[in-house]
Amino acid sequence: MTFSFLSHLECSRTGDRYEADQVAGTSAAGAPLLARYDLERVRETVTREDIATREPSLWRYHEVLPVRSRDNIVSLGEGLTPLLPLPNQGKQSGVPKLLMKDEGLVPTGSFKARGAAVGVSRAAELGVRGVAMPTNGNAGAAWALYAARAGMDSLIAMPDDAPAITMKECLAAGAELYRVDGLIGDAGKLVGAAVAERQGYQDVSTLKEPYRLEGKKTMGYEIVEQLGWRVPDVILYPTGGGVGIIGIYKALLEMRELGWISGDLPRLVAVQATGCAPIVEAFKSGATESTLFPDARTVAFGITVPKALGDFLVLDAVRATEGTAIAVTDDELLAAQRRLAALEGAFVCPEGAACFAALDQLRESGWVSEDDEVVVLNTGAGIKYPETVEVDAPLLAKTDAIPARGALRAR
């Protein structure tokens, strides 16, 4: 039986067709390549009911993933993360039907594991010996760990102020790690030059290879399946390189063509921080792509991407679904992070917290209504960002007594 119905790759700008069964970067136009599938054959081969009986991982959707053989899968058990109701947060935000897709529970502690699983699996299947990438932290950690599992080398370059835990993950996995005095774009230039001199290495920078996106799109498949094969009204996504929101939109289009969903698609919301908001500025100005954002900086390090290769695809997805793009301040997202943990017991990453801060603004403006079913993507575990919470707690001597409940707060 056919495991994958991958048919070809397609230039996201020109529509030109490319061979899928060879190592691929960007198109001749310098644009991301998109994996395309024979969806008619998928429709004839598998049903939604079939999928429900499969293993609880993203590989349950293997017909619309690019790995040709089950034997070539490199997995740590990624996917099928919970879609959690948030009644307390929803009540406070004025959105009773609020749900969170919690990607902090996948291997490596962030949604980057999805892209790494599929990207590394396909790279290994095509004979790649080593993967190389610039990263803001989590993606590099994920790709280094999955490369280790596949027996591949990894070369990772990240800004010097990236989260220390992600550097430690890379080193633990045996990656060749370099810190860069600059932003992710500066790291990307160094990686590109290095790969040109290394035989058997592939540059797997964001959207410079086609298969990371395929792993990320499974979030869209899972949301729909977990809702009983229907779509929510709104999906909020923290947007840096944009692969997640592009992938979710791609999944929605594929499912509609397969006949697995019908009707209007969810309104997609790209959420950024005011310290790095190129997509938001482009959306507001009506531009089809963004311009380089100057002096980019935010505590939500994962979305510090001053100029994304796939920015035009993000803007297409947002506009095609009648969505929007919105930016929040670091103070707002940090407050949202603490509030969610106190209300729901969910300690999310600052990028995910940005979406909760954005939801408050969208509800206040009326863009989101009380009747909307809203899904927020939390893209990583808050414990990977310990610096976002200051430890402000009294130090007691061994001979002290713990004060009566509420006494400290009363002071």
- What is the structure's pLDDT at 406? 66
- What is the structure's pLDDT at 334? 98
- pLDDT > 70: percent of the chain: 99
Closest CA to 78 of 26, 104, 117: 117
Q: Which residue has the tokens 């086609």?
A: 210
Distance CA 88, CA 342 (A): 10
Residue 408, pLDDT above cutoff 70: no
Task: Give the H/E segment covering residue 410.
Answer: helix 407-410
Distance CA 392, CA 369 (A): 37
Torsion (CA) 42, 218, 296, 161 in degrees, nearest 10:
-130
- What is the structure's pLDDT at 103? 98
398 class by beta-carbon count within 10 Å (0-12 exposed, 13-18 middle, 19+ buried): exposed
**Strand 83-85 relative to strand 98-102: parallel, antiparallel, unpaired?**
antiparallel
Question: Could you read off the pLDDT of 179-206 as tens digits, one per residue?
Answer: 999 999 999 999 999 999 999 999 999 9
Question: Could you read off the pLDDT of 128-140 as tens digits, one per residue?
Answer: 999 999 999 999 9
Residue 89, pLDDT above cutoff 90: yes
36: left (phi over 0), alpha (psi -120 to 50) or beta: beta
Distance CA 104, CA 102 (A): 5
Question: What tokens does 80 get?
Answer: 């099928």
Question: Could you read off the pLDDT of 23-43 as tens digits, one per residue?
Answer: 999 999 999 999 999 999 999
Question: Could you read off the pLDDT of 314-336 as tens digits, one per residue?
Answer: 999 999 999 999 999 999 999 99
Q: Which residue has the tokens 């063509």?
A: 257
Half-sphere exposure of 200 (CA within 13 A, CB side): 8
Residue 54, pLDDT above cutoff 60: yes
Q: Mean pLDDT, to the nearest integer, of 112-127?
A: 98
Pure H helices in 259-349: 278-285, 311-320, 330-344
C-alpha torsion sign, points 106, 109, 114, 119: negative
- What is the structure's pLDDT at 395? 95
Q: Supply the DSSP symbol for 348.
A: B
Other beta carbons within 10 angstroms of residue 185's beta carbon come to 17
Q: Is the pTM of this model over 0.85?
A: yes
Residue 233, pLDDT above cutoff 80: yes
- What is the structure's pLDDT at 250? 98
- What is the structure's pLDDT at 405? 80
- Residue-by-residue DSSP string for 180-214: ESS-HHHHHHHHHHHHTTSTTEEE--TTSSSSHHH
Q: Identify each DSSP E strand in 204-310 by its residue range.
A: 234-238, 267-273
Task: Give the H/E segment covering residue 179.
Answer: strand 176-180
Reduced to 3 states (helix: H, G, I; strand: E, B; else coil), residue 8 is: strand
- What is the structure's pLDDT at 214? 98
Other beta carbons within 10 angstroms of residue 20's beta carbon come to 22
Closest CA to 266 of 234, 312, 237: 234
Residue 145, pLDDT above cutoff 90: yes
**Which of 83-97, 135-149, 396-410 is predicted least confidently?**
396-410
Q: Supply the DSSP symbol for 72.
A: G
Q: What average pLDDT does the structure give for the chain? A: 97
